[in-house]
Structure 1
């Protein structure tokens, strides 16, 4: 009888020793990026990133925008409609790059004041929205970067 109590006590101690006392270790991840079209907000899909917070850093390599968006519905837009990037995070990224992919052709998209105009030709367009938080004191040093994927369909 005493052996069974000893075994239960030992199992309890082992279990307790394996926990992190209720503290969860969250992986560092970049802020969410939102797309706004006609006052409606849509989430993007987080792609490749390098991010650090609270003394932890992580770099994750993911597939490109077309593969990341497989099976998801594109955001419906009108020809030439304004598409706005929203990131509720401070500091804001100080360098961005937007790439449009359509019919296996890639082109850079000009972004002004966090928005761009949708294409005027009907079709589905995939986007890679790259954001960098560059160090303002040390040249060519990134404090974090993230790529976000989304697709629009011009109707």
Structure 2
């Protein structure tokens, strides 16, 4: 009789621990299985066409949980990525569903980097041909921050 009680208690505790573990693991996921502890992704587009980007390092907190992920910098992150071809002087639009507190924008060339202005969600592209990497460092007050990067190419008019 004592043996059955021990087995019952052991199985009950095991089931409880398993249920708590599953709840803990799925608590960070929404119904689609997406991780909720990541910052929002931007919509980056030019003339209505989306520009591919990579999310770099970030820290994010929600519901008394926090996570940080560290990656390479923007230039290294985009090294193998194909450049999105654009025309000189065009505007890139950047939007987030959850509006950030600040967005710092840096333009990288092969040998330079410079801060560029973002006004009303737009970045004006350079007029010089070349390959550029654009880094967005985005902050959300009381939520966290993230780095995003994308690569563009402004072709030369020469054939």
TM-score range, shorter chain: 0.7 to 0.9
Residue matched to 1:129 = 136
Greater percentage in strand = 1
Per-residue CA distance 1:46-79 (angstroms, 9 max, x = gap): 1111101122101222111111112211111100
Inter-CA distance 21–132: structure 2 relative to 1 (3 Å threshold) = closer
The alignment status of 1:153 with 2:153, answered yes or no, reads: yes
Decide which of 58, 83, 108 is 1:74's aligned counterpart: 83
Q: Given the alignment, which residue of 30, 38, 57 partners 1:29?
A: 38
**Which of 20, 39, 44 does residue 48 from structure 2 map onto?**
39
Distance 1:21 1:130 in 2: 33
Gaps of 5+ in 2: 1-9, 29-34
Q: TM-score, normalised by structure 2?
A: 0.75
5+ long unaligned stretches in structure 1: 1-9, 135-141
Aligned length, in residue pairs:
138
Q: Which runs of 4+ in 1 moved over 4 A?
A: 13-19
Higher helix share: 2
Q: Is the 8 A contact 1:32 1:43 kept in 2?
A: no
Moved more, 13-22 or 94-103: 13-22
